[in-house]
Amino acid sequence: MGYRDLVKLWKSRIIRFDPDINSQQIGLSSIDLRLGYLFTKQKDAKGYTVDPFEEDFDPAPIIDTVDLTKQKLPIGQVPSFILKPNEFVLSRTLERVTLPLGLAAQVQGTTTGARPGLSIHATAPHIHPGFLGSITLELKNFGIWDLKLVPGKRICQLIFFRVQTPVSKKEVNAMSSYHNQVTPYGKRQVGVMKGQPN
C-alpha cells in the first residue's frame, strides 16, 4: 500500500494506534512505529533446555523484564537501553495497533537501524488480520558497537497487505497465539495452534 492509502486508512481509523501516530510517521509505503519502555532478557541458565513449542511453556521463571518508566534518572536525562554486541532482547512498540479483519501487516526494521547492525525481528515479522496489541520486537545487535535504544524514537515500520477474503472475529479469537498481550514475552494463549476454529 502506498502513502495515500495509508493516510486514508489512518484518518478513517480503519487502522488504529494507541497512542496515536502523527502524519510524519507515514512514509511512502509504510508506517513507522516507536520503541516502547519494556525490555525482556533471558536469564543466564546454563544447561537449561527450553521447548518453546510446548503448549504449557511459561517463560516467566527464566526471563527478566526491565520497565524503563521506573528508571530513576537525573533531571533532563531520558531513559535508554544499551544493547550490547551479539545481545538478544525482546521489546515492544510504544503504539498498540488494531488491524481490521481485511488487513495483515509485516514489521520490518529501518535502514537507519540496520546499518550499525540492529535487527528488529529474528524470524517473526508477520502480523495477522484482527491483531490487537503492541508488537513484540526481537532485537539483536549484529554489530560491534553498543547500541543506545531510546523509547519513543522510531524503530520499525509496518507494511500492510490486503487479505482477499477477510477473516472473522471468531477465527481471530480461535487462532491468535499472542493477541492483546502486555509484556514482550508472555505465555502463549491456551487452545491456539490446535487447528481450525469450531
- Give residue 182's pLDDT band: very low, low, confident or very high (50, 70, 90): low
Q: Is the pLDDT of residue 76 over 50?
A: yes
Confidence category of residue 16, pLDDT binned at 50, 70, 90: very high
pTM assigned to the model: 0.83
Mean pLDDT score of the chain, rounded to an integer? Answer: 86
Q: What is the mean pLDDT of residues 9-22?
A: 96
* Active-site residue, selected from the candidate residues 55, 95, 138, 171: 138
- Give all domains of the chain, ordered by start, each with its CATH number: 3-43+62-70+78-175 (2.70.40.10)
Q: Each residue of 82-132: pLDDT tens digit?
A: 999 999 999 999 999 999 999 999 999 999 999 999 999 888 889 999 999
CA nearest to 91, candidates 23, 141, 161, 24: 141
Query: What pLDDT digit, counting tens, does each position of 123-158 carry?
Result: 888 999 999 999 999 999 999 999 999 999 999 999
- How many other C-beta atoms lie within 10 A of the C-beta of residue 133? 19
Listed as own residue / partner, the contacts of 61-68 with beta carbons closer than 8 Å and 24 or more positions apart are 63/185, 64/40, 65/38, 65/39, 65/40, 65/41, 65/183, 65/184, 65/185, 66/38, 66/39, 66/40, 66/41, 67/37, 67/38, 68/37, 68/38, 68/39, 68/151
Q: Provide the pLDDT confidence category of residue 49 given band limits of 50, 70 and 90.
A: confident
What is the biggest distance separating any 2 CA atoms in the chain, rounded to whole angstroms? 55
pLDDT of residue 92: 95
Give me the pLDDT at residue 193, please: 42
pLDDT of 194 higher than 60: no
DSSP alpha helix (H) spans, the chain: 3-11, 111-114, 169-175
10 Å Cβ neighbour count for 53? 8
- Say yes or no to pLDDT of 191 above 50: no
Give the three-class secondary structure for 173.
helix
**Contact at 8 Å (CB) between 94 and 16?**
no
Output phi, psi for 25, to 5 deg.
-85, -5
pLDDT at 169: 75
Please give the C-alpha separations between residue 130 and each of 2, 168, 181, in angstroms, as whole numbers. 21, 8, 14
Highest average pLDDT, of 6-10, 47-51, 63-67, 178-182, comes from 6-10
State which of 45-49, 56-60, 143-147, 186-190 shows the largest mean pLDDT.
143-147
Cell 535504544 belongs to which residue?
149
Catalytic, 138? Answer yes
Count the helices and strands in the chain (H runs, E runs): 3, 11
Alpha-carbon distance of 109 to 147, in angstroms, equals 15
What is the pLDDT, as a whole number, of residue 164? 85
